[in-house]
């Protein structure tokens, strides 16, 4: 699995005793993600991504979080996919990460922008070669006659780039969700959960505790 990039030092263990006292969402997120990477059996960076096009009808799917820093949450995709087209029409999104082993969730929402070409190139180059070829072969979200058709295209591309680097396709890049709100949820007995929400306030954040 490609390594998730988190540019934030984790909180000290003592600070995690009561997460609702955290003053900054980013170190808290880094600490929770680090714990999830140790406890979740597979894809701790899996997150539900919700978008809506110009018709206002919401859509949701699971994608992989590939970076998180004070600039936002980053994922990569084909811009010609359904989510790519919806983000072109309405560049806003919401995400949720759910870690069942820890009984925790993190939610966020905000405006979406594309990462730089340099960022997209660097991440694409880090992917497995077969995944890079797959990014060329897949017309994501478009009708496919059958699987052999797809695999034939993959084989043709593999032959074409057999002795050459696989370049990043123009239709493939990353998106950054710049959150205006981030919520942390911890399961509690009898559904008396702990919830705190950070809301963007100028250059910083305001924090509020929420009823379960």
Domain ranges of the chain: 5-124+170-210
Average pLDDT, rounded, for the chain: 92
Contact, 200 vs 182, CB < 8 A? no
Q: Assess whether pLDDT exceeds 60 at residue 61.
A: yes
Residue 187: exposed, middle, or buried by beta-carbon count in 10 A (0-12, 13-18, 19+)? Answer: middle
149 known member of a binding site = no
Q: CA angle, corner 179, sides to 174 and 180, nearest 5? A: 150
205 known member of a binding site = no
Q: Assess whether pLDDT exceeds 70 at residue 62.
A: yes
Contact, 202 vs 192, CB < 8 A? no
Contact, 61 vs 48, CB < 8 A? yes
128 known member of a binding site = no
pLDDT digits (tens, 9 = 90+) for 97-125: 999 999 999 999 999 999 999 999 999 99
Calpha distance 93→110 (Å, rounded): 6
Q: Assess whether pLDDT exceeds 60 at residue 15.
A: no
Q: Supply the DSSP symbol for 70.
A: T
Calpha distance 129→5 (Å, rounded): 20
* pLDDT score for 88: 97
Residue 200: exposed, middle, or buried by beta-carbon count in 10 A (0-12, 13-18, 19+)? Answer: middle
185 known member of a binding site = yes
Domain spanning 5-124+170-210: which superfamily? Electron Transport, Fmn-binding Protein; Chain A (2.30.110.10)
Share of the chain above pLDDT 90, in %: 86
Contact, 154 vs 133, CB < 8 A? yes
pLDDT digits (tens, 9 = 90+) for 159-171: 999 989 999 999 9
Q: Assess whether pLDDT exceeds 70 at residue 179.
A: yes
Residue 191 annotated as catalytic: yes
* pLDDT score for 18: 87
- pLDDT (average), residues 35-50: 95
In the set 132, 160, 176, 191, the catalytic residue is: 191
User: What global pTM score does this model have?
Assistant: 0.89
Assign 12 a pLDDT band (cuts: 50, 70, 90).
very low
Phi/psi of residue 158, nearest 5 degrees: -60, -40
Contact, 180 vs 186, CB < 8 A? no
* pLDDT score for 9: 53
Assign 13 a pLDDT band (cuts: 50, 70, 90).
very low
193 known member of a binding site = yes
| Cβ-count burial 145-170 (b if 16+ within 10 Å, e if not) | eeeeeeeebbeebbeeeeeeebebbe
* pLDDT score for 33: 96
- pLDDT (average), residues 54-78: 96
Q: Which residue has the higher pLDDT, 91 or 139?
A: 91
**Residues 6+ away with beta carbon under 8 Å from 206:** 198, 199
């Amino acid at each position: 699995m490609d390594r998730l990039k988190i540019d934030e030092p984790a909180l000290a263990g003592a600070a995690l005793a009561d997460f609702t006292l955290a003053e900054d969402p980013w170190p808290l997120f880094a600490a929770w993600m680090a714990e999830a990477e140790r406890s979740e059996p597979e894809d701790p960076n899996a997150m539900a991504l919700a978008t809506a096009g110009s018709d206002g009808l919401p859509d949701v799917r699971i994608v992989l979080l590939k970076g998180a820093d004070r600039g936002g949450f980053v994922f990569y995709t084909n811009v010609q996919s359904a989510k790519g087209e919806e983000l072109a029409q309405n560049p806003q999104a919401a995400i949720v990460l759910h870690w069942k082993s820890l009984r925790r969730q993190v939610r966020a929402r905000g405006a979406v922008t594309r990462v730089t070409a340099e960022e997209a190139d660097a991440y694409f180059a880090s992917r497995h070669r077969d995944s890079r070829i797959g990014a060329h072969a897949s017309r994501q979200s478009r009708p496919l006659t059958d699987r052999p058709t797809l695999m034939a295209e993959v084989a043709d591309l593999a032959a074409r780039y057999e002795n050459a680097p696989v370049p990043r396709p123009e239709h493939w890049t990353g998106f950054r969700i710049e959150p205006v709100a981030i919520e942390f949820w911890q399961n509690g007995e009898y559904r008396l959960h702990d919830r705190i929400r950070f809301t963007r306030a100028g250059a910083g954040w305001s924090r509020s505790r929420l009823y379960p």
